């Protein structure tokens, strides 16, 4: 149809000539009404804003990425880059679960943004996932990848994960379908080496394969009570399309793969010494191992480590966590709203005992956690161990104050009894 100069967009009144000059078009709709592509875009954006607004009024105020990050900071110290990435991923996931994309009429669907957390032991991977669930107000379930096997073998099949999520939602299927699942130690289900075994890899690649459809989004028959499937048991159907999956792992040893890859890349661009004559030392022989080298991890590294590409493709958001050092562990001990020291001090206070720590004591606790290789998760254990004797006897002995200080690399616990007042 030829559009005359008198035809114009019903909203903006732009003519065909003006629109074509800017690379846009004018279309004739119902009852001879003309609408330009610019206004169509504006209408779609307005519709999206309206859907998001309605979602926020029906499900509570939609927190923005900065707000999500700020709420995480109330309970998680450091890891600012990870917080930013996670905040954006969770925000966009939240929008995706509340927006009916069919209203746009173009068939476009938003794919899931499941998350892969990579970080050393004790960097707070589980804590991140749990806090995100609290911020969103959705059910949370943690599963251990090492307990999973392919269906039909001894162990838990992947559907048991959803049984746990349903239990966390108190049996409410609708709530469970918008929950968060954290699969810990996903690195432990890496593929076995090509020549290590001739038997089926039911706990490695087999589990990775079994997770694919669940992570992508599918309808799964789930036993509400959890556990192994039984033919006579009742099942409910749970759709994982809007379940956010967060997988985490330390990927111990992948640092060597990263370092070797980077060394080879450096050697190939280092001039005359590169090529067949280049000498590349094994990672264990290098003088300096790059701190936080995990930040350089690529999907190719993860594939070489033993994760199948199909699984990595269903975990598009890759987040790496910083290694914890002594100063960060001291902050973790004291700064969060639910800091371990604050919890222990409150526990003593309700027993009418004042508990105090010196700054030196905080640093000794942090160094002990680093020495034991437990990171932040070992902080509570160290404090519990140091205070065990005094907790056992303080009620009977009439203790009114306990001071924890340091002598060298040891903690010194000094009680003050009421008799000494």
Domain segments of the chain as ranges: 1-58, 62-249, 326-420
Strand duo 236-239 + 219-222: pairing: antiparallel
Q: Give me the pLDDT at residue 272, please.
A: 52
Query: CATH homologous superfamily of domain 62-249?
Result: P-loop containing nucleotide triphosphate hydrolases (3.40.50.300)
**H-helix or E-strand spanning residue 404:** strand 399-407
CA–CA separation, 285 vs 281, rounded Å? 6
Residues 6+ apart with CB under 8 A from 297: 118, 251, 254, 258, 318, 320
Instruction: Tell the burial category of 106 from Cβ atoms under 10 Å away from its Cβ (0-12, 13-18, 19+).
Output: exposed
Place of tokens 């205070």: 387
Q: Where is 345: in which H helix or E strand?
A: helix 340-349
The phi and psi torsions of 117 (rounded to 5 degrees) equal: -100, 125
Q: Which residues contact 390 (CB under 8 A, 6 or more apart)?
A: 399, 402, 413, 415
Q: Are 377 and 360 in contact (CB under 8 A)?
A: no
Whole-model pTM: value is: 0.75
Given the candidates 3.40.50.150, 3.30.2090.10, 1.10.8.60, 1.10.20.60, the CATH classification of the domain at 326-420 is: 1.10.8.60
**Amino acid 277: pLDDT:** 46
CB 331 within 8 A of CB 340: no
Q: What angle do CA 356, 362, 364 make, to 5 degrees?
A: 125
**Total residues found in the chain within this entry:** 421
The counts of H helices and E strands in the chain are 15, 12
Q: What is the pLDDT of residue 147?
A: 85
| Per-position pLDDT tens, the chain of length 421 | 444 446 788 878 888 888 888 888 888 766 677 888 888 877 766 666 665 555 544 445 678 899 999 999 999 999 999 999 999 999 888 787 766 555 555 566 777 889 999 998 888 899 999 999 999 889 999 999 988 865 544 446 788 889 999 999 999 999 999 999 999 999 998 887 644 444 445 557 888 888 999 999 889 888 875 445 555 557 889 999 999 999 999 998 899 999 988 888 777 665 554 444 444 445 444 434 566 788 999 999 999 999 999 999 999 999 999 988 999 999 999 999 999 999 999 999 999 999 999 999 999 999 999 999 888 889 999 999 999 999 999 988 889 999 999 999 999 999 988 654 4
The per-residue pLDDT for 290 is 62
């Amino acid at each position: 149809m030829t559009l005359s100069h008198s035809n114009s967009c019903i909203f903006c009144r732009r003519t065909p000539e003006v629109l074509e000059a800017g690379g846009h078009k004018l279309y004739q709709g119902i009852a001879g009404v003309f609408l330009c592509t610019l206004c169509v875009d504006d209408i779609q954006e307005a519709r999206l804003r309206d859907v998001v607004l309605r979602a926020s009024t029906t499900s509570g105020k939609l927190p923005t990425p900065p707000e999500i990050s700020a709420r995480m900071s109330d309970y998680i110290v450091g890891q600012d880059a990870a917080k930013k990435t996670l905040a954006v991923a969770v925000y966009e996931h939240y929008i995706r679960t509340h927006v009916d994309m069919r209203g746009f009429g173009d068939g476009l669907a938003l794919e899931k943004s499941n998350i892969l957390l990579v970080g050393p032991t004790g960097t707070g991977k589980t804590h991140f996932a749990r806090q995100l669930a609290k911020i969103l107000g959705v059910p949370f379930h943690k599963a251990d990848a090492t307990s999973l096997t392919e269906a039909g073998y001894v162990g838990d099949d992947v559907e048991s994960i959803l049984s746990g999520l349903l239990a966390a939602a108190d049996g409410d299927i609708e709530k469970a379908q918008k929950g968060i699942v954290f699969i810990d130690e996903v690195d432990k289900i890496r593929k076995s080496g090509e020549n290590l075994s001739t038997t089926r890899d039911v706990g490695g690649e087999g589990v990775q394969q079994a997770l694919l459809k669940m992570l992508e989004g599918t309808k799964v028959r789930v036993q509400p009570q959890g556990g192994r499937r039984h033919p006579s048991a009742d099942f409910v159907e749970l759709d994982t399309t809007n379940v956010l999956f967060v997988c985490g792992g330390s990927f111990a040893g992948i640092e060597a793969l990263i370092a070797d890859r980077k060394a080879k890349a450096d050697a190939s661009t280092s001039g005359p010494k590169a090529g067949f004559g280049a000498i590349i030392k094994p990672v264990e022989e290098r003088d300096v191992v790059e701190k936080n080298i995990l930040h350089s991890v690529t999907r190719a590294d993860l594939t070489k480590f033993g994760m199948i590409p199909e699984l990595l493709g269903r975990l598009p958001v890759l987040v790496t966590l910083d290694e914890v050092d002594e100063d960060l562990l001291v902050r973790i001990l004291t700064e969060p709203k639910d800091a371990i020291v604050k919890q222990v001090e409150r526990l003593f206070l309700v027993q009418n005992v004042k508990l105090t720590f010196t700054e030196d004591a905080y640093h000794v606790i942090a160094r002990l956690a680093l020495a034991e290789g437990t990171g932040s998760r070992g902080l509570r254990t160290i404090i519990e161990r140091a205070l065990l004797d005094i907790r056992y006897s303080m009620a009977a002995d009439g203790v009114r104050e306990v001071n924890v200080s340091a002598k060298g690399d040891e903690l010194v616990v000094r009680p003050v009894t009421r008799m000494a007042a």
